[in-house]
Each structure stands twice: as structure tokens, then as C-alpha cells.
Amino acid sequence: MSREGIQPVIFVIFGASGDLTRRKLIPAIYDLFKHKLLPEKFAVLGVSRSKLSDDDFRQKGLLANDLFDVSDEPKETVEAFAQLLFYQPIDTNEADDYAKVRERLEKLDADFATAGNFIFYLSTPPVLYDKIPKFLTAHGLNRAQGCIRRLVIEKPFGYDRESARSLNRSLTEFFPENEIYRIDHYLGKETVQNLLVTRFANSVFEPLWNRNYIHHVQITNAEPIGVGNRGGYYDQSGALRDMLQNHLMQIVAHVAMEPPISPSADAIRAEKIKLFQSLRPIEESEVAKSCIRGQYMASNMRGEMVKGYRDEEGVPGDSKTETFAAVKFHIDNWRWSGVPFYVRTGKRLPTKVTEVAITFNKPPHKIFRRECDYSLANNQLVMRIQPDEGLLLGFGMKVPGEGFNVKNVGMDFHYSDLAQEDVPEAYERLLLDCIKGDPTLYAHGESVEYSWQFVEPILNAWQNDDSIPVYGYPAGTWGPEVADAMIEPEELTWRNPCRMLTEDTSFCVL
């Protein structure tokens, strides 16, 4: 990462007293500062309802941040960074109060010589997403000749297609589309970006990347944690809205889109939109067959008794919200015709892992049929998003000795083998891109709407059709058993990954 193309700016965080600011934003901005990647003329203005002073904000966000320990960081760097943090309390629901933001920004802009460049980051409850841009506009903060005025918006981006569309409409009334940055932190992950490099910077993979050679594609996202203290939010959302509609559909797009003509934001976004347009809609009547939902139940996980979802704080005792979702779908285009995609996500699964597994077709002519079990002879390419980031290619090899006994072995690459210093955190990369004005790794409004359009029939069926079961699964397992049978033909199933990429998945340490 470099400072190239960077301009002075004030970074304004709405919702500055919230968790995300302490957990992700301040640590990411601090790291950029430490690595001298921020503009030389730079300041942060935190805005929210809590009545804090600049000093309180510096304490809460940095010096005594319970979610980001700076005790091992160089003291002078931490102190120098603290001097760039400022805070303005306002009632974010009150249009008039934004005059205080304007005044404060004018003052900081003069002190730090930031040339009137402001980035507004909305890390607030979604009800404020259309209010804040409107109130900023009322005070002339959304536009200024020759100045950067940018809006960054956290998920959830809408609740369904209609609300996403109406949010897009209202945001573009105040900020032009190319200045709206919809953050999806998965796009900031090196390994998600590397999906494009694996495909388009090599000549071995892409010729195989189609219906002629690929049998099916699996994407697994698993987390051992439950909903914790987010029960209130999560129960309104569920696994489909929380993970699948955004993060996992972005991964699908990277795996399945056509080669863009260049790595520019416009070229990549155009291919993603085309891909989303090619998703075969799942009719509500098919949902019971193609989609499985589940909810974790109390169980013993690694020696510790954990609560069931319905006993979590903020979750109604009769909730039907899914904490596990598995969806089978098709992409109706030339490349993917007939290739099923399977995507699953869940809380309280055995381990934390996200990966893409491409399963190739079996060899067409089975000359070793006497010695080799061809039911297991599908080559598999695993692209690990996290943890133990890397690539694993599984293939058959002759067992030394007489005859032609075949054994599955793996060729692997791990990011940890790279001599280079640390892989940047997703938020660091994304914030820096936004400061530089590069929207490549941000979601476009139109693709967000298409992705909602795809998941909407599933959401509707799950909400309206009581005959579709919510399967319980004991915490610490790979979700409802019925989900195992989704993958066809019968002898194939999910790759249940372990923490380490190359561990044998039939027996592993979680």
C-alpha cells in the first residue's frame, strides 16, 4: 500500500461512540498513520449523541480502548495520533444540530489545511442513513467546488430489494453515485481479492473454469461464535441477510464473473452486475427444496456448555430466525450452465473458516477402475479466505509399489510462507482506498439491488411459509444434517474444513 494519489482530508465518523469505531475504524486508521499511509494533513472528527469531549474521545477510542490495546505500540506514535482525534456531540436526528458539525469542520479545516476535503463515514443505526446525508446537504456539506465530499456507508444496506432501492434513490439525491462508498469488509480481504488474481493472472486455471471441467462450487462460511450481545439486531436479520446477501454473494461474484477488461472499478463492477443478472431466480415454491435453514441449540462445545439461539439475550423464545443457511442455485450463462453452486453460512459451527472449494469432474475414462475408487476422484481446488489463507489443490497420485493404487494428495500454498510483512486488515485497505478515491473494492448500488433481488424469494418463503422447517442443530456441529444431503450426487458432500488448510477433513483438530 502506498500514499500515491492521496489528498488532505478530514475523516468524519458518525456513530463515533459505537463499537465499530473502537473495534475496527480507529485501529485501522491508527495503523495507516503508523505506516505513514495517511495524508500529511489529516484529522478525524467523531460525531454522535454521547456527550464527550475531544479528550474523552481520545481516551475511549484510543488510549483506553477496551477493544484495541495500544500498550505495545510506540508511545510517541500513539500520542501523535491522539492529537488528530476530535469529537463533536450532536443530536443526529436534529437537522439544526448539523450546523455544529459544519462550524467544527470549518475550524479543523483551517487548522489542518485540509482544503475543504471531507469524508463522512456512517457507522450508525440504518434509520439514520437517509437522514444524515440530507442534513449534511441542508448545511452545504455534501458538495463544494473542487473539494472531496464522500459518503461511506456500513451494512446493512437495505433490508430487502425495495428498501435498498429507496435508500439508493435517497442517497444519490445528495451525493453522486461515484462518491458513495458502500463498504463490504469482505472485499477488503486480501484473499477475496486474490480470487481474481488466481483466475486472471494465471493461464492454468481459467481454461478449466467452466461447465466442461467444473462439477460444482461450494462456498462455506463458518463461525464458532453465537450471536453474543447482538441478539436484538441479529433476530431481525438472520444468516441470509447478515452474511449471504452481501459478503458471500460478493465471493460468488469473484468466483463466477467473466474476465473484466481491466482491473478498473468500472470494469469489475460491470462484470459483477452481469453476473448478478445471470443468477437464476429461486422461485418461492422451490425454496423448500433448494434452501435449508437452521438454528443452533444448546450443546457442549469443546467442553463448554453454550446457550441455544432462542435463549440468547434479545432473542424471542419462539424466534424462527435462521443462524444457518445453505442455498443451492444456478447461474444461467454460457460458462456455468448446469453447474450447481452451494453456499452455506452459520453461527456456532465447529470452527472459524471461510473458503471456496471448486470440485472438478471425474476423469472421463476410468482406466484404473480396478485399483482406484473413482467415487472420490474429483480434483478439488480450495481457495481459503481465512484463516491459514492459501490455496490447496487435491489430486490423485500413485501409491508407490505394485499395481496402480491411487491416493489423494494435496499441493498447497500458504500466505504465511510469504516473507513479506503483515497482510493489511480489510478495513485498513478499504479506508485507504476511499481516501484515495478508488471505489474498486466497494459495492455498487445496482449490484446490491440485484443481490437483494436474488435472496428475496428465499426471505419471503421463510417468512411466510410455515411448512418450511427451521432445523435445529446442536451448537458445534456443521448445521442441520439435511444440509449434508444437498450436494448431488449422493456420494459427494460438503468439504467440512478444519482450521488449517491442509488438515485431513475427515479427522481434524478444530
Phi, psi of 421 (to 5 degrees): -65, 180
Phi, psi of 31 (to 5 degrees): -60, -40
Shortest reach from residue 223's CB to ligand BG6, in Å: 6
| Residue in this structure with the C-alpha cell 449434508, named with its chain if needed | 484
d(C-alpha 334, C-alpha 259), whole Å: 14
Q: Which runs of E-coded beta strand occur in 140-213?
A: 149-153, 180-182
The dihedral region occupied by 275, where left means phi > 0, alpha psi between -120 and 50, and beta the remainder, is alpha
Shortest reach from residue 354's CB to ligand BG6, in Å: 6
User: What's the distance, Cα to Cα, between the start and end of the chain in Å?
Assistant: 33
Toward ligand BG6, which CB reaches closer, 216 or 348?
348
Shortest reach from residue 467's CB to ligand BG6, in Å: 28
Shortest reach from residue 75's CB to ligand BG6, in Å: 30
Determine if the peptide bond prior to 387 is cis (ω within 30°): yes
Toward ligand BG6, which CB reaches closer, 154 or 179?
154
Shortest reach from residue 11's CB to ligand BG6, in Å: 21
Toward ligand BG6, which CB reaches closer, 425 or 456?
425
Q: Is residue 388 within the footprint of ligand BG6 (CB under 6 A)?
A: no
| Residue in this structure with the C-alpha cell 469529537, named with its chain if needed | 87
Contact between residue 252 and residue 341 where contact means Cβ atoms under 8 Å apart: yes
Residue nearest to ligand BG6 (CB): 242
Contact between residue 123 and residue 25 where contact means Cβ atoms under 8 Å apart: yes
Q: Of the residues 247, 254, 330, 414, which is catalytic?
A: 247
Shortest reach from residue 248's CB to ligand BG6, in Å: 10
Toward ligand BG6, which CB reaches closer, 116 or 294?
294
Toward ligand BG6, which CB reaches closer, 92 or 354?
354
d(C-alpha 474, C-alpha 483), whole Å: 14
* Span 347-386, contacts to ligand BG6 by CB under 6 A: 354
Q: Mind spelling out the 3-state secondary structure of 351-391? A: CCEEEEEEEECCCCCCCCCCCCCHHHCCCEEEEEEECCCEE
Question: Furthest-apart CA pair in the chain: how many Å?
Answer: 84
Toward ligand BG6, which CB reaches closer, 348 or 444?
348
Q: Is 247 a catalytic residue?
A: yes
Toward ligand BG6, which CB reaches closer, 52 or 195?
195
Toward ligand BG6, which CB reaches closer, 20 or 492?
20
Contact between residue 314 and residue 231 where contact means Cβ atoms under 8 Å apart: yes
Pairing of strands 214-222, 341-346: parallel
Q: Give the CA count within 13 Å in the CB-facing half-sphere of 509.
A: 1
d(C-alpha 464, C-alpha 453), whole Å: 17
- Residues touching ligand BG6: how many (CB under 6 A)? 3
Toward ligand BG6, which CB reaches closer, 242 or 312?
242
Chain CA centroid to CA 217, Å: 19
Contact between residue 346 and residue 223 where contact means Cβ atoms under 8 Å apart: yes
Shortest reach from residue 184's CB to ligand BG6, in Å: 8
Contact between residue 116 and residue 109 where contact means Cβ atoms under 8 Å apart: yes
Residue of 31, 109, 179, 223 that binds ligand BG6 (CB under 6 A): 223
Q: Mind spelling out the 3-state secondary structure of 9-61? A: EEEEEECCCCHHHHHHHHHHHHHHHHCCCCCCCEEEEEEECCCCCHHHHHHHH
Of 180, 177, 176, the closest CA to residue 434 belongs to: 180
Buried b (16+ CB within 10 A) or exposed e, 246-266: bbbbbbbbbbbbeebeeeebe
Shortest reach from residue 246's CB to ligand BG6, in Å: 7
Shortest reach from residue 438's CB to ligand BG6, in Å: 21
d(C-alpha 424, C-alpha 429), whole Å: 7
Residue of 31, 109, 179, 242 that binds ligand BG6 (CB under 6 A): 242
Shortest reach from residue 323's CB to ligand BG6, in Å: 10
Binding site for ligand BG6 (CB under 6 A): 223, 242, 354
Active site amino acids: 247
